[in-house]
Amino acid sequence: MFSIKRSIKALAATAVAAGLLLTAAACSTNQLSTAQFGQNPDQVQSVISELNSAKTITMKKAAFSMGDSWTIKADDKEVATIKGEAFKVWGDTYSMYTMDGTFIGAEQEQIHILSGRQAETYDYQGHKAGSINAQRFSLLYQFNIIDTTGAQVGKFKQGFGFNLKGDITDKAGQKEWSADRAMFSMGANITLTSQTADKDVSALNAIWTVAIVNEVAEAADSSSSKSGK
């Protein structure tokens, strides 16, 4: 009798967890407004081209803002902003805009009980562009960058050090971007440095990947501080 009751409780808990995940997915999908999709495609492509050709991309996160707010520079020129909404139950939602407010793309983070953190990315038309998945059971942060077909195009691997840093490689392990977060700054200040002209991992994918890595790291730092560890 005891084992039957325990099995029923386990099934009920599983059902509740599944319901929460479905609710989270539905809520996450609803965060993007379709009204902003597909506007000014020439302007959007111009900004994307500037980012892809930049030698350095700087991501500066505001220290105090309603939701996360980032300024993106391509070779010291401000070209885009990222607005984030933090919904910790199902993950964060980030939307990127040109400096005059045209939608470029988005990243929606999802938290899965079994697979851990992952995010789906979207282009300026609202179409799914790929995903970024955390690699479980790794001492340091590792994230796989996936295209729309489900194929891996790149990977982020955290490096050793006191500050958050790492490399983004293609699927063959060739370095394409390096990322480095400044140790002492209000908010976060991250520099992406291009390592080669011919890349499989686009600038947008590099930015989205570093954004989710930073949020995971900040959440871990906050948890450690609260626990006194």
CATH number of the domain to which 191 belongs: 2.40.160.200
Write the pLDDT tens digit of every residue in 188-204: 999 999 999 999 999 99
Instruction: Please tell me the total count of domains within the chain.
Output: 1
- Residue at 200 is within a domain: yes
Q: Is 135 exposed, middle or buried (0-12, 13-18, 19+ CB in 10 A)?
A: middle
Q: Does residue 46 carry a pLDDT above 60?
A: yes
Q: Does some domain include residue 66?
A: yes
Question: In terms of residue numbers, what domain contains 65?
Answer: 31-227
pLDDT at residue 63, as a whole number: 82
For residue range 101-123, what is the model confidence (pLDDT) as tens digits? Answer: 999 999 998 765 555 678 999 99
Residue 87 pairs in a beta bridge with: 91
In a domain, 142, yes or no: yes
CA-based nearest residue to 52, from 212, 224, 196, 156: 196
Query: Residue 207 belongs to what H/E stretch?
Result: helix 203-227
